[in-house]
């Protein structure tokens, strides 16, 4: 008994990695996983951290800059070396007549000169900018704009990634529902195949009727394969998007169709466009362009700085220390010609940013209107699909009754079943299409903050 238990236990461990358990997820769970695991959102958050470091770097420009330099020279021999030979040097007694023909001499014994066997120097410099044409202040403001832009990109990324999550979620749900419809249709065909086969053996119908049913079953098998492929592709895409390992048994648990009408979702574009993430980004672009223009102007203004230098020198054991204070005033002269063109370029960039902001407001307003019209159209399609399904259901019931009574042929019944299957699939597709269009519209009118 124990031996059998051990074998079963070892078998369970061996095959455990190949067992896949069914996993049911709601839409909200998928959205939460997207916010936690999506690579695009994570990258946008890292960009915020990077922008914050850039801002901290720009802030350091307010403080003094300090540098230390040192140099050591140690030659293999003295840098200055000379031999002065011994000699008799004339002695001048004050009489100019004796200069040309001296009569007295003094003996000079000669000597060697050896100097500079090492040189050591060190210096520390501190510079504090006082005025730089506003470049430091505007540079810090530009860095702050960069942080705001990065944060807005996070909002934009979350919005787009959540929309993609919801789109794939409803597309997967729709594909699974269509597969269920195909399976029901296949079940009807298999039952009809049994009846037709029996009738054909009794000689009540022609073999062509049997072949028609078999052909429909083949077509259904092809559609089922296509849906299986679509379900696998959508499952893989959704799992990767929300940060889960692929699970072929993943099933959406939310299948209830949202009954919110387009009218209940409508918001005027005039009240929503200004709060869109795209507009916030473009407004920041205008602000950044203005700051870059001011920085370009500042580069051509005088700059003022104060500082100090402390140095230490050791030349062959001769030590010296100095403390130096200085004031630096730099006035660009010849750069004004070049700088004026740079300033003009920044002015043009600023005008382009303002023009793009105005143009985008109009386009985004138009986009919201178009999306709302698509939402209304999708809603109307649901009503049309429901009416078509009701008619197809009634038609199929009539054909089933007439077929059992021998009033219609197999071909008529097959056609009625095909019409019903198509109507049911289309009705389901219209419902989930409306959910996707609704998600797109909500995403457009969602404020950035």
Q: Which residue would you say has higher pLDDT here, 90 or 392?
A: 392
CA dist 301 to 61, 298, 331, Å?
17, 5, 7
List beta partners, residue 71: 121
For residue 147, is it within any domain? Answer: yes
At 98, is the pLDDT very low, low, confident or very high (cuts 50, 70, 90)?
low
Tell me what pLDDT residue 257 has: 65
For residue 42, is it within any domain? Answer: yes
Q: What is the DSSP letter of 86?
A: -
Q: Please write the tens of the pLDDT for every residue from 127-154.
A: 999 999 899 999 999 999 999 999 999 9
Domain around 415: 29-70+137-173+229-305+335-445
For residue 86, is it within any domain? Answer: no
For residue 98, is it within any domain? Answer: no
At 163, is the pLDDT very low, low, confident or very high (cuts 50, 70, 90)?
very high
Residue 330 has pLDDT above 60, yes or no: yes
Q: What angle do CA 30, 33, 36 make, to 5 degrees?
A: 155
Q: For the chain, give the percent of residues with pLDDT over 70.
A: 92
At residue 60, φ and ψ (nearest 5 deg) are -65, -15
CATH code for the domain in which residue 378 is found: 1.20.1600.10
Q: Please write the tens of the pLDDT for every residue from 392-447.
A: 999 999 999 998 888 888 888 899 999 999 999 999 999 999 999 999 999 999 88
Tell me what pLDDT residue 4 has: 42
Tell me what pLDDT residue 11 has: 40
Q: Please write the tens of the pLDDT for every residue from 332-389.
A: 887 777 888 888 999 999 999 999 999 999 999 999 999 999 999 999 999 999 999 9
List beta partners, residue 119: 73, 315
For residue 235, is it within any domain? Answer: yes
For residue 105, is it within any domain? Answer: no
Q: How many domains does the chain have?
A: 1
For residue 79, is it within any domain? Answer: no
Tell me what pLDDT residue 99 has: 67
Q: How many residues does the chain have?
A: 449
For residue 102, is it within any domain? Answer: no
């Amino acid at each position: 008994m124990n031996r059998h238990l051990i074998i079963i236990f070892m078998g369970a461990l061996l095959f455990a990695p190949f067992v896949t358990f069914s996993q049911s997820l709601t839409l909200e769970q998928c959205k939460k996983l997207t916010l936690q695991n999506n690579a695009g959102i994570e990258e946008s958050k890292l960009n915020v951290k990077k922008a914050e470091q850039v801002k901290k770097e720009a802030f350091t420009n307010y403080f003094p800059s300090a540098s230390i330099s040192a140099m050591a020279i140690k030659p293999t021999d003295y840098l200055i070396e000379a031999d002065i030979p011994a000699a008799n040097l004339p002695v001048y007694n004050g009489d100019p007549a004796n200069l040309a023909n001296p009569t007295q001499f003094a003996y000079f014994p000669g000597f060697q000169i050896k100097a500079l066997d090492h040189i050591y120097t060190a210096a520390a410099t501190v510079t504090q900018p006082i005025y730089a044409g506003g470049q430091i202040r505007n540079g810090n403001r530009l860095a702050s704009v960069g942080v705001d832009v990065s944060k807005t990109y996070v909002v934009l990324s979350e919005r787009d990634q959540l929309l993609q999550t919801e789109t794939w979620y409803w597309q997967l749900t729709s594909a699974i529902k269509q597969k269920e419809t195909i399976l029901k249709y296949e079940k009807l065909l298999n039952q009809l195949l049994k009846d037709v086969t029996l009738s054909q053996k009794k000689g009540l119908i022609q073999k062509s009727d049997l072949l028609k049913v078999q052909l429909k079953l083949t077509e259904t098998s092809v559609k089922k394969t296509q849906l299986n492929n679509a379900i696998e592709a959508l499952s893989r895409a959704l799992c990767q998007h929300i940060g889960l390992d692929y699970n072929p048994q993943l099933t959406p648990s939310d299948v209830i169709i949202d009954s919110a009408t387009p009218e209940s979702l409508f918001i005027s574009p005039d009240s929503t466009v200004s709060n869109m993430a795209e507009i916030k980004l473009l407004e920041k672009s205008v602000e950044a362009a203005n700051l870059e223009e001011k920085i370009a102007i500042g580069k051509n203004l005088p700059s003022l700085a104060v500082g100090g230098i402390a140095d230490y020198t050791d030349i062959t054991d001769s030590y010296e220390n100095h403390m130096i204070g200085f004031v630096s005033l730099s006035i660009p002269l010849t750069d004004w010609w070049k700088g004026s063109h740079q300033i003009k370029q920044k002015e043009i960039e600023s005008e382009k940013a303002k023009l793009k902001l105005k143009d985008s407001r109009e386009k985004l307003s138009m986009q919201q209107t178009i999306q709302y019209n698509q939402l209304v159209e999708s809603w109307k399609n649901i009503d049309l699909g429901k009416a078509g399904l009701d008619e197809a259901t009634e038609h199929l019931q009539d054909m089933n009754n007439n077929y059992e009574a021998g009033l219609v042929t197999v071909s008529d019944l097959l056609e009625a079943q095909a019409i019903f299957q198509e109507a049911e699939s289309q009705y389901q597709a219209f419902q989930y299409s409306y959910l996707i269009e609704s998600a797109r519209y909500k995403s457009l009118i969602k404020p950035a903050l």
